[in-house]
Every structure is written in structure tokens, then in C-alpha cells.
Amino acid sequence: MQMQEDDKIFKVLGDKLRNYEAGEASDADWEAFQAVYPAKKEKKRAFIWFLFPLLGISLSLLAWFTYNYTFENKKTQTAQNKPNSVLSSSDLEKTPLTADSKPEVLSADSKSELSELSSNSKPTSQKLNNNNLLNSNKSKKVRSYNQKKSNDGNQIENKIESNFTGNSSKTINNTKDPLVEENKNIITPNKEKNDLTSINPIVEPKKDLEPKPAANTTPDQRKTEAEIKNQISLNQTSKNHGKEIDLSEIKSDVKENNLNANDTAVKPISEKQNNGDSSLISQVKTKQKLNVNLLMKHIDLNAMLAPGMSIYNQSLDAANLAGLGLGLAFGINKHWYVGTGVNYMYANTQSKIKKEVPHEYSSISKIDTTLKYDFSSSMIVMDMDTHYQKHVGTKIDELSIVRKSQVLSIPIIFGYSIGNQKTELSLFSGVQNDWLVEEYTTNNLATKATETFTNQKLLAAPLVGFGFSRKFYANWALNLGMDYRHYLSSSLDKKDYWRVQAGIRYHLK
């Protein structure tokens, strides 16, 4: 009984308080709340969504540096450690022979060059300076060595002599010299003298073997070349059957070829630097890593001026769009590329409520002005969409709604392209991050008062797409592409967007 009485007091108390409402919310109450809540929410979103571009940029840079470092490093290491394979012309260009280089087996192809070298009755210095000899595609494949230094002279002599015998298809790596005697019968005395002179510094004074500078070299270049050749020739002679064979001639020949063929590969090397392969290779590697021209060859620059032209699936009274952006695509290799950029878009739309709204505070008026397609002159994925087309009216008598949107977009894409010099087709995917700032201004029909709401959102959308690129003049190309993206944010009415875009690209190559 006591408990029932006790309950009755609290029951009355509860009944009176349970449904009691303490005043209505004022604008100040809402603004005070809004000042706290969006800040908290946006901060959290900012932390999450801005990870995407940061992650994308970081991965792109990491991929680029990793690729370039390993690629160049691999190339130089290959050139350095290739004992039994034929060096390519690029290897020879990028990895000049030094005093410590080990001569190996000459391949069969080398015979033509050696034949030319030995059969030519011109002075040796002229032959060594014959750029055509070493610049020909055939001769670039020639140089490979697989034997020790002590056998260098013997091998080379054998090769030269074997050429005189007409045995051109055979690679000679015999350390003995059975062909010497045989060839003595073939070579005429004068010719023999000339040929032996050309490869034996003992027969003629060393100074006569100095290669004459090429016609198109500068005095400084000639001087440097001569220094290098002297240095190498002084250190690189060996004996074979009583004859001293100067390997430096061939090596300096290669060196000279490098110097004459492409001066971007190797600069004149001082005596101090000419201590071995490692210093030279590191020099080459360092130079390539810092080569701005090499970097520029990978880059496409895309500048976008994007006057708006939008098609809406619902009628709008007015829609003005404008965008400006800049994009960059970095080619990782022939096919793969990474693209990023930044785009600013401004949109101004105005809608009028066509249907009269009942004079109650409860009315919800929706205006569907969903953007269906968007054409913009942007190369990479740029956005000109309007995210908040559906408007939920909060007040009666809304006469019109003016909505201003500003979007800053940062896409990160990875693409694969195929094609030729003129035309390219590319497929790409990535993520686009948008920072949306929008402002509603509503006009009240009854009071004629205007009220403004502002909203900020950070949005992210994975995307996929494809594009065509057609070069029309020099480094300029026209682009046409289409992409699809899906926004992850739950705050959008419409999350899926298709877009067709056209643009202009400038390739920095």
C-alpha cells in the first residue's frame, strides 16, 4: 500500500514532466549548435578523405623514384657485370670501357669490323678515328670479351688473322695462335707491315698511333680524347708471342665513339677519375638521375579552361558553370602513367518552386535538378557536377532558391595507354576528391526575407574511364574521354556520375 502511494507521487511527477517542453529553439540556439557540430564532423571527414590524395601523391612519387632508381641502377649494373654477352650499342655508350675492363671473346660479328680495321691500308690512327666504322649498327653489336687480359692480344690477333682467311662465321676464342703462321702466308709483306703496325705499337712509335681527332670535334674535346687514350694505352698493353698488342686502341676507339656519338652520355674523364669502372658508372648514374630533360620526357602538361555547359534532366531557371584546372600526367614507361591535377569549379543555379506550398510549416518541397551529363574541357578527371540538387525546404513560402557551389577537385589516376605516334587510347582508374562549399539563399514568399545556409563537404569517389588522344600539331593533342565515378559519401542524393569530356594536351617531350 505504501509503495502504491509512493508510486503515485512519482507517477504524477513523471506524467507532468514527461511531455513537458521547455520553449522553442531560436536561431541563436541553432547557430550555437551548428558552430559546434559541423566543425566536429568536417574535421573527422577531412582527416579521412584527405588521406586519399595524400596517399595517391605519395604512392605516385614513390613509384616514380623507385622505378627510376632501380631502372637506371639495373642498366648500369647490367653493363658492368655482363661477362659473356654481347654489349649493345647503348651499353657501350653508357658504359665506356676503362683501363680495368676485361676483354672477352669477340663475337662472330666482330670480324667485319676487324677485317675492315686490318685490311685498311690507311694509317691506324685514321682507322681508329673512323666513326662510320664504330657507329654502324653492326659494329655496335661487336664488342664483347670473355678472356683474361693476358690473352687479349692473342685473341684479337687471331680474329684479325682469321678474317683474312675468310673464316667469317667462326668465333675465335682460342688462346693459342695456330692461325698466325697460316696467315703469314696470306698477308703480303707490305700489308702485313701495315696491319701489324696498326696493332703493334712496337713496330711504329707510339706517338704515331695517336688517333687524329675527328673533324667535328672541338679542340678541347680532342685534347680530352687524346688524354684518355694515352692514359689507357699506357696501362693496357700485353704481350703475345713476342709482340705487344695495344688493346687501348680498340678501347679508346670505343671511347672515342662514345664521345663523338653522344656527348650527353659521358663527359671527358680526367685521369683521376679514370681509376676503374665504378667511378665511371657512378658518374653516369648520377648524371642520369639528375637529368631534367629525361624527367621532362615523361610529363604531359594539361591545362584546362572549362567554361560550363551542362545538361540537366530537370529544368532549371538558370545555371552558370565555370571551371579552371591544371593537370599533369607522368608516364612511368611506354604504357603506364600517373595523372593528377587540381580543378576549381564555380556553379550558380537558381530554382523556383513552381507549385504553391501549403501554408504550413511542415511542407517539404523537393526540387530535383540532378545533373545528368557534364561536358568540360578538362583532360584529366575534373568535376563540374552539382552535388546537392535536391533541396529540402524547411520553411513555407519559399519563393526561390539560389544555390552557389564551389568545388575544388583533386583526382589521382593510374592509366594504361596504347597507340602510335599519332593516336592513343588509354584506360584509367583512380580516385577523385572534392571539397565542396555550397550556399543556399532562400527567399520567403510571405516576408520577402532571405535566408542563407552554407554547407561544406569533403567527398571522395573512385572512378574508371577511357579516353582517346589524337596529336594534331607538334606536341599538341586533342583528347576525348568518358569516365564513371561513384561517390562514397552518404550525403549525396545521387552517387553515380557519367561524364564525357574533351580537352587539349601538351606533351613536354
Instruction: Give the footprint of another protein on residues 387-416 (CB under 8 A).
Output: 388, 391-394
**Does the footprint of another protein cover residue 36 (CB under 8 A)?**
yes
**Does the footprint of another protein cover residue 37 (CB under 8 A)?**
yes
Looking at 151-159, 211-219, 308-316, 490-498, which segment touches another protein (CB under 8 A)? 490-498
**Does the footprint of another protein cover residue 13 (CB under 8 A)?**
yes
The answer for residues whose C-beta is within 8 angstroms of residue 408's C-beta and 6 or more apart is 342, 343, 344, 345, 434, 435
In angstroms, the CA 485 to CA 75 distance is 40
Cα angle 27, 435, 427 (rounded to 5 degrees) comes to 150
User: Percent helix, strand, coil in the chain (nearest 5)?
Assistant: 35, 30, 35
Instruction: Give the footprint of another protein on residues 38-77 (CB under 8 A).
Output: 38, 40-41
Reference 335, options 431, 429, 419; nearest CA is 419
- 310 CB-side CA count, 13 A: 28
In angstroms, the CA 341 to CA 343 distance is 7
- Nearer to another protein by Cβ, of 37 and 65: the residue is 37
Number of residues that bind another protein (CB under 8 A): 49
- 129 CB-side CA count, 13 A: 17
From candidates 129, 349, 492, 499, binder to another protein by CB under 8 A:
492
The 3-state secondary structure of 413-472 reads EEEEEEECCCEEEEEEEEEEEEEEEEEEEEEECCCCCEEEEEEEEEEEEEEEEEEEEEEE
**Does the footprint of another protein cover residue 359 (CB under 8 A)?**
no
- Nearer to another protein by Cβ, of 29 and 182: the residue is 29
**Does the footprint of another protein cover residue 355 (CB under 8 A)?**
no
Q: Beta strand pairing status for 496-507 and 371-376?
A: parallel
**Does the footprint of another protein cover residue 33 (CB under 8 A)?**
yes
**Does the footprint of another protein cover residue 9 (CB under 8 A)?**
yes
Query: Residue 132: what are its φ and ψ, rounded to 5°?
Result: -60, -35
Beta carbons of 492 and 462 less than 8 angstroms apart: no
**Does the footprint of another protein cover residue 16 (CB under 8 A)?**
yes
**Does the footprint of another protein cover residue 487 (CB under 8 A)?**
no
- Nearer to another protein by Cβ, of 208 and 493: the residue is 493
- Nearer to another protein by Cβ, of 20 and 473: the residue is 20
Beta carbons of 64 and 72 less than 8 angstroms apart: no
What binding mask, one character per residue, do residues 314-333 give for another protein by CB under 8 A, x or -?
--------------------
Q: What are the distances in angstroms from CA 127 to CA 54, 105, 121?
A: 59, 22, 9
Report in angstroms how near the CB of residue 388 gets to another protein at its nearest.
Answer: 8
From candidates 215, 290, 292, 364, binder to another protein by CB under 8 A:
364
Report in angstroms how near the CB of residue 9 gets to another protein at its nearest.
Answer: 5
Instruction: Give the footprint of another protein on residues 423-452 (CB under 8 A).
Output: 440
From candidates 47, 493, 496, 508, binder to another protein by CB under 8 A:
493
From candidates 20, 84, 334, 354, binder to another protein by CB under 8 A:
20
Report in angstroms how near the CB of residue 36 gets to another protein at its nearest.
Answer: 6
Q: What are the distances in angstroms from CA 407 to CA 313, 325, 382, 481, 503?
A: 21, 11, 10, 21, 19
- Interface residues with another protein (CB under 8 A) are 2, 5-6, 8-14, 16-25, 29-30, 32-34, 36-38, 40-41, 360-362, 364, 388, 391-394, 440, 453-455, 457, 489-493
